[in-house]
Structure 1
Amino acid sequence: MDKLEGKVAFVTGAASGIGLGIATALAQAGVKVMLCDIEKDALARAVEALAATNADVDGVLADVSLKAELQAAADKTIARFHKVNILVNNAGVGGGAGYGEWTDASWDWTIGVNLMSVIWGFEIFGPLIEKAGEGGQIVSTASMAGHLPITGPAYAVTKFGVVALSENLRPVLAEKGIGVSVLCPGFIRTNIMESTRNVPSRLAGNVEEQDMAKGPVKAFAEMARKAIENGIDPLYVGELVREGIEGDWMYIFTDNEFEPGVDARYKGVKEGFDMIRGREPAR
């Protein structure tokens, strides 16, 4: 999409952090933006601040872990802007405790927000982008944890899933004129470590923060909290996403910090193949 002005974007998790950075960068490029979030007050502040810059924006409340609420948000977007060209599946939570301590509720919540909302986003908004007939782009926020299993299990499972879904659907939707990108940020200055502030009432009391304070990832968790507090500016990430949309990037990375880890992971995969090289499989 080499011309963004006048296009319409729907962004989830848009009231703060990466989502607000993306919404801001798109609005600055002349895109009309529907901001979607579960936090009422934060959403109102974000919409008010962007509208004050003469951006054409609006907001819609939704718990994206519920398909019906995401569908209702899509309907409100069409009613307000009459079309959608860009979908940003950005909402995410850092939920889920470690092995032996997790609950069904924590898995349901983390998978619902981080993965199912992305699946439903493709399902609900893909046809709307097609109907607009102007081409489009779908960007889904994964994480470097979608390439490296360095966090708690639930978060890693969902983020690997977002990467896999994006890779799978990219050639499919390319035939329909829709680009697919996956955003894999490193340490960004967000509130991801305080995700349980948004646990829905139906799950209250049954969801724990991602438990990285124990076991082999304890050192990483302690480092991550400090790194996030001093992380990359979300607006910079938003500008990268805008550029990625314009250039139809498959992967949108925010920095090179985890590149050696990715190289090491795939080296390990290659070594797995080397272990059986020369053997003739039984038929």
Structure 2
Amino acid sequence: MKELAGKTAFVTGAASGIGLGIATAFAQAGAKVMLCDIEDAALSAALEQLRRTNVDVDGVKADVSLKAELAAAAEATTARYGKVHILVNNAGVGGGGPYGTWTDTSWNWTLGVNLMATIWGIEIFGPLIEQHGEGGHIVSTASLAGLISGGSTAYNVSKYGVVALSEGLRPELAPRGIGVSVLCPGFIRTHIMDSSRNLPKRFEGAARTLPTSGPLAERINLVRQRISQGIDPTYVGELVREGVENDWPYIFTDLEFEPVVEARFAAIKQGFDHIRGRDPKR
């Protein structure tokens, strides 16, 4: 999609952080943007902020972990703008702990928002993009944790799923005129560590009490510090705009974790080296 002006984009998790950065970049490029979020007050504030710049934006509240609410948000978007060209599956939560702390509710909440909502978003909006025949693009927000899992958390598992889904969809949707990109950000200044503020009642208990001392507490505090000093989401939004315009399969935000990704690829290759030269049929 070389030209975003006049196109319509639907962005989830759009009231703050990366989602707002993406919505802002698209709107400033001339796109009409429907912001979708679970937080009423934040959504209203984001819309007020954007409308001061005389862009064409609107908003719809939805809990994307409920397929019916996501479908209703799609209906609201087509009712407002007629067509949809760009889908951004960005809503995400940082729920779930490592092995030994797993609970069904934490898995259901995290996978529901981070992975199932992405699947449903594509299932719902894909046909809407196809039907007008003007082409389009799908961006789904994963994480560097979707390439280099640092632990057995539901968050990491969900982000690996988003990467796999995006990689699989790209060749399938290309003949239909739809590009697919996966966004794998590093440390960005967002509210991801405070995801429990939006925890639906049906997932009560999913947000566990965090330790105040010990190795895990130190690691959590380090992550919080890195996020608070992270990259500005508006910069990420501009990268996503560029990625959509140029059909990048992967959108990264910085080079910090490139050596770790390369180390993972090297470990995978070593696995093949262990069996190189052996005859599996003997």
* Cα deviation 1:97-123 (Å, max 9, x = unaligned): 221211101000000000001001110
- 1 CA distance for matches of 2:158 and 2:74? 23
Counterpart in 2 of 1:243?
242
Provide closer, same or farther for how the CA distance between residues 130 and 260 of structure 1 changes in structure 2, counting only shifts above 3 A.
same
Q: Deviations over 1:47-79 (max 9, x none)?
A: 111111111000000000010000000000000
Shift of 1:28: 0.4
Separation in structure 2 between the aligned mates of residue 59 and residue 179 of structure 1, nearest angstrom: 24
- Is the Cα–Cα contact under 8 Å of residues 181 and 248 in structure 1 kept in the other structure? yes
Aligned to 1:91: 91
Give the AA of the match of 2:155: Y
Counterparts of residues 264-275 of structure 1 (less than 5 Å): 264-275=263-274
Post-superposition Cα deviations, 1:165-197, rounded to whole Å, max 9, x if no partner, equal 000000110010000000000000000011111
Q: How many corresponding residue pairs? A: 282
Unaligned runs of 5+ in 1: none
CA contact (8 A) 2:105 2:205 kept: no
Inter-partner Cα distance in structure 1 for 2:224 and 2:277: 46
Structure 1 residue 200 corresponds to structure 2 residue 200: yes
- In 2, distance between residues paired with 1:282 and 1:77? 56
Alignment pair present for 1:252 and 2:251: yes
Shift in Å, 1:221: 3.4
Aligned residue runs from structure 1 range 207-246, under 5 A: 207-208=207-208, 220-246=219-245
Equivalent position of 2:116 in the other structure? 116
Work out the CA distance in 2 between the residues paired with 1:85 and 1:210: 41
> 1:34–1:59: 8 Å Cα contact kept in structure 2?
yes
Which residue of 2 is the match for residue 279 of structure 1?
278
Native 8 Å contact 2:98 2:151 kept in 1:
no
Match of 1:78 in 2: 78
Name the CA shift for 1:14/1:261 in 2 (closer, same or farther; >3 Å): same
**Rounded Cα–Cα distance in structure 2 between residues aligned with 1:75 and 1:193:** 31
Return the TM-score normalized by structure 2.
0.96
In 2, Cα distance between equivalents of 1:117 and 1:213: 34
Quote how far apart the aligned CAs of 1:151 are: 4.5
Corresponding residue SS for 2:5:
coil
Code of the residue aligned with 2:255 in structure 1: it is N
Contact map agreement 2:186 2:253 (CA 8 A) in 1: yes
What RMSD, in angstroms, separates the aligned Cα atoms of the two structures? 1.7
For the residue of structure 2 that corresponds to 1:175, the secondary structure is helix
Give the Cα separation in 1 of the matches to 2:281 and 2:219.
42
Name the amino acid aligned to 2:173: L
* Partner SS for 2:275: coil
Cα gap change, 1:209/1:133 in structure 2, threshold over 3 Å: closer, same or farther?
farther
Q: 1: distance between equivalents of 2:227 and 2:65?
A: 25
Q: Distance between the aligned counterparts of 1:211 and 1:170, measured in 2?
A: 41
Q: Counterpart amino acid of 1:277?
A: R
**1:1-283 counterparts in 2 under 5 A?**
1-208=1-208, 220-282=219-281
- C-alpha displacement of 1:85: 0.2
**Matched-pair contact (CA < 8 Å) for 2:96–2:102:** yes
After TM superposition, what 4+ stretches of structure 1 lie above 6 angstroms from structure 2? 209-215
TM-score, normalised with respect to structure 1: 0.96
